[in-house]
Amino acid sequence: MRALDRLVASSYGLNIADQIALVAVPIVAATAFGAGASTIGLLVACQSMAHLVGSLPFGVLVDRIQPRSAVLASAVLSLMGFAAAALAIAAGAILPFAGAIALAGLGIVLYGLASLSILPRIVTQGELTGANAAISLPRSVASLAVPLALGLALDRAGAAAVFWAAAACALSALVLTVRLPVFALRPVQREALIQRLAKGAGFVLRHPMLLPITFCAVFWNFAFSMLVVLAVPVITQAHGGEATLFAGAMAAFGLASVAGIFVAGRLANRIAPRVVLMFGPGSSAIAALMLLVLPQGNPGPLLLAAFFVLGFGPSMWLVTQNTVRQLVTPAQMLGRVNAVIQTAIYGTRPLGALAGGAVGTAFAPQAGLVVVAALFALSFAVVLASRLTQVTDYGALALAEETA
């Protein structure tokens, strides 16, 4: 089995495990622990905080140690976390359960950073976009398939068994990654953690492509987080639809994400990168306009179409911008650069959710949609005003020389 095949297969294992936890934690908290809304919120926060707490230090770690060791460590952390969560459920211990899911979440964060750093080492430049699509697809597939299967699994097997299943998925990832190759590393000078992080952040801020990628992603994620909060009130209060339409909309979003990543991988060498880099945020702006003109009484068809557009274009953009990031960033800085961008994105999401609630309450859900549309348009404008519109070929991207 090729190194790429092992990495992709391990990505399926860890992303399925992660999605099991994301969907199961609120359900298990309520059914197994009798938790109320505030406790459920804290447990969910334990999962999401892993990205904020772990990204920056893990980015430094990925740049310093053997990438294979980082991937193995990520699988071990996830395995320990999911197994401990299953044991905590059996013991009825909610605090250990919270710690366990946080530990598992840290493993997922480390895996994401390490795998993005490994890809440029195991494939050629021409294969990189296809490889990025292959390793991104498992998350979209898992986010679509796991919620459909988990309800049945919880009913028949129980809460602890579900987390044992997640642990088994993490174990499969560990087995698959054990035989990844050992990579040659350049010697790095010893520096304080803050200095190394500052170099990564400085590289992003100075780079004419990484900076617009970051701002585009920040505006997009802020807008999408607002939309998730506002969607149900818009459907029910402004257009007289059923709240369950939102579930269908998210299913359309998930299906479109799978389709977009698949298409991005297939067409990587046939479409100029700049087309996809503009299409992602541009299609999001169009989707937002579709949401602004939802018909009264029957918003369903246009709502589903808007969320499909919102999932398709940005998923293609995700694959393409990952390739750009990997090609313009020195290998010894990939961990930190990816961590800086990821931290900015995940830090934006809770702010967007809070803003959605505040605008929807102070004014009206429909007014919040106007803000969402403006933010999607802003993410598109960032790309249009940048050098991303000039990326006609991946081979033309110059790898910046930077002391790491």
Instruction: Note the pLDDT tens digit of each residue in 85-108.
Output: 999 999 999 999 999 999 999 999
Contacts of 246 (CB under 8 A, 6+ apart): 231, 232, 235
For the stretch 226-244, pLDDT in tens is 998 888 888 888 788 887 7
Q: What is the DSSP string of 322-387?
A: HHHHHHHS-GGGHHHHHHHHHHHHHHHHHHHHHHHHHHHHHT-HHHHHHHHHHHHHHHHHHHHTSG
For residue 403, pLDDT beyond 60: no
The tens digit of pLDDT for each residue in 261-320 reads 999 999 888 899 999 999 999 999 999 999 999 998 888 899 999 999 999 999 999 999
The pLDDT confidence band at residue 404, using thresholds 50, 70 and 90, is very low
User: How confident is the model over 40-51, as a mean pLDDT?
Assistant: 79
Residue 401 has pLDDT above 50, yes or no: no
In the chain the domains, ranked by start, together with CATH numbers, are 3-185 (1.20.1250.20), 199-396 (1.20.1250.20)
Q: Is residue 81 pLDDT above 60, yes or no?
A: yes
pLDDT band with cut points at 50, 70 and 90 for residue 205:
very high
Lowest mean pLDDT among 34-48, 73-87, 209-223, 344-358: 34-48
Per-residue model confidence (pLDDT) at position 23: 82
Whether 17 has a pLDDT exceeding 90, the answer reads yes
Q: How far is it, in rounded angstroms, from Cα 255 to Cα 161? A: 27
Percent of the chain with pLDDT over 70: 97
pTM for the predicted model, two decimal places: 0.86
Label residue 188 by pLDDT band (50, 70, 90). low
**Mean pLDDT to the nearest integer, 388-394:** 90
Q: C-alpha dihedral over 228, 234, 236, 240, to 10 degrees?
A: -150
Mean pLDDT over the full length of the chain: 89
**What pLDDT was estimated at residue 27?**
82
For the chain, give percent helix, strand, coil, nearest 5.
85, 0, 15
On the question of pLDDT at 377 being above 50, the answer is yes
pLDDT at 22 (0 to 100): 83
Is the pLDDT at 258 greater than 80? The verdict is: yes
